[in-house]
Amino acid sequence: MPEPVPGPGGESERSLVGLFMMLASSAVVSLGDAPDPLTGQRRRDLENAADALDLLALLREKTEGHRSPEETQVLGELLYDLQLRYVNATKRSGPPPAPARP
């Protein structure tokens, strides 16, 4: 496995905050609030946005007690902002799709 590349300040670019930001970026694109970096198009996919939010919430639960104060603050702020954006997006689009039943 390759070693992480040091970033500014000597920290590894592979960090918990980096993971939070990657998932948050995916959610913002899926909410249609930013263009897809590959296509340049804005699209709304509320199911993908909900998945990204669920993953962030899962990370919050599973990393409880193991995050730095900065990581905790970033995660809390991201979840708050994204949840508000999601609620606003569902109001504009109607109710989210029902989950598929196995």
The pLDDT tens digits of the residues spanning 14-38 come to: 799 999 999 999 999 999 999 999 9
Please give the pLDDT value at position 92.
Answer: 82
Give the pLDDT confidence score for residue 2 in this predicted structure: 40
At residue 67, the pLDDT reads 95
* pLDDT average, residue stretch 40-50: 95
Identity of residue 93:
S
Give, in order, the Cα–Cα distances in Å from 63 to each of 20, 31, 54, 72: 12, 26, 14, 9
Cα dist from 12 to 6, 15, 41, 50, 58, whole Å: 4, 6, 32, 28, 23
pLDDT value for 95: 57
If you average pLDDT over residues 33-58, what whole number do you get? 95
Q: For 6, phi and psi rounded to 5 degrees?
A: -65, 140
Share of the chain above pLDDT 70, in %: 78
Q: What is the mean pLDDT of residues 43-69?
A: 96
